[in-house]
Structures are given as structure tokens and as C-alpha cells.
């Protein structure tokens, strides 16, 4: 005899627009000016214009190469390559790729906060249900945002599209 579960045993949340309210501007030259200056102190010399152009070109190329209908890339890999090509002293490109991705995110944020009602939902469902996050996003900084806003710990699992190489359809 098989046993079937009845009722809801778990609740999945999206990260952005459900848990986190965020506004970013990744194309704003000011974002790239800040990042370019920061990179100089990390041993990478690149103009803001070149940084912006290379980043978006490589990101598109990487997405096109996946063969996925809803492709996702890992931005830290894009930044690691750019940093390696533009370094003026010896660097660890993998480590710097991660740090650059996070600095890029910080430079691009115009608004960041927890959605007020999300905490209430976590309290409501967390006591009796398994909770998870399945979201389009870059783990390299999205996990940091969940942690910084004290939204990470209630979840049994957190999956970002960058973990898998493809996104959920809109």
C-alpha cells in the first residue's frame, strides 16, 4: 500500500520581488567608473567604458554558448577573464572575479531592502512547512543579499539560476 502525502509540505519563494526589493542599474557608466577605480587597487587597469563594453559583450557571448532557451551565466567567471586580461601585476583571477562581481553589484544598487510582508510569510509558513528559494540570480551576490537582510537562514535550500546555467522562464 502506498502512502500519499496530502496538503502542502513545502513553500518555495522567489528571491527578487518576493523576499528582496532591489533596484540596480548595471549599465550606468557611474557603476563602471566606481568598479574601474576599485579594480585599479586590485591590480587591474581598465577604463570604465572598456569595462562596460567587455562585460556586456562577454556576458552575451557566454549566454549564447549555453544552448539554453533561458540561459544563465556566472558573472564571476566573466569578471575573472576580464581581470586576467587587464592585470598590471600578478593576481588570482578566480578570487578577484568573485570579489569584482560583488563590487559590481554594490556599485549598481540603487535600492535594497527586505519586502516587509516576506518576514511575516516566513514566520507563518516556517513553523510548519519546509521552505526553499528557487530564483533567477547570481549566487555570488544574491546569497550575500539574503544573508545581509537576515532572510537566508529560514530556508532548507536555496537554488539560484547561476548554479544550474539556466533561468526559470518569466
Residue 139, pLDDT score? 98
pLDDT of amino acid 42? 99
Does residue 35 contact residue 48 with C-beta atoms inside 8 Å?
Answer: yes
Mention the CATH class of domain 10-23+113-164: alpha beta
Cell of 60: 552575451
Residue ranges of the chain with per-residue pLDDT less than 50: none
Phi and psi at residue 30, in whole multiples of 5°?
Answer: -65, -35
Angle made by CA atoms 142, 146, 149, in degrees to the nearest 5: 135
Residue 61: what pLDDT? 98
C-alpha cell at 20: 528582496
The per-residue pLDDT for 8 is 84
Question: Which pLDDT belongs to residue 126?
Answer: 84
pTM for the whole structure: 0.92
State the pLDDT at residue 83.
Answer: 99
Cell numbers representing residue 38 in the block: 576599485
Instruction: Please give the pLDDT value at position 1.
Output: 53
DSSP string, 63-84: HHHT--SSB---HHHHHHHHHH
Amino acid at each position: 500500500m502506498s502512502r500519499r502525502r496530502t496538503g502542502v509540505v513545502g513553500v518555495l519563494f522567489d528571491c527578487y520581488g518576493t523576499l528582496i526589493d532591489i533596484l540596480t542599474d548595471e549599465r550606468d557608466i557611474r557603476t563602471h567608473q566606481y568598479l574601474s577605480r576599485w579594480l585599479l587597487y586590485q591590480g587591474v587597469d581598465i577604463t570604465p567604458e572598456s569595462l562596460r563594453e567587455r562585460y556586456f559583450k562577454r556576458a552575451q557571448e557566454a549566454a549564447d554558448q549555453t544552448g539554453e532557451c533561458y540561459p544563465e551565466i556566472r558573472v564571476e567567471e566573466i569578471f575573472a577573464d576580464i581581470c586576467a586580461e587587464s592585470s598590471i601585476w600578478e593576481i588570482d583571477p578566480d578570487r578577484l572575479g568573485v570579489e569584482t562581481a560583488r563590487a559590481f553589484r554594490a556599485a549598481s544598487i540603487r535600492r535594497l531592502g527586505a519586502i516587509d510582508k516576506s518576514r511575516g510569510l516566513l514566520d507563518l509558513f516556517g513553523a510548519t512547512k519546509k521552505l526553499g528559494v528557487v530564483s533567477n540570480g547570481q549566487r555570488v551576490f544574491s546569497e550575500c543579499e539574503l544573508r545581509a537582510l537576515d532572510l537566508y537562514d529560514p530556508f532548507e535550500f536555496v537554488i539560484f539560476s547561476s548554479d544550474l546555467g539556466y533561468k526559470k522562464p518569466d
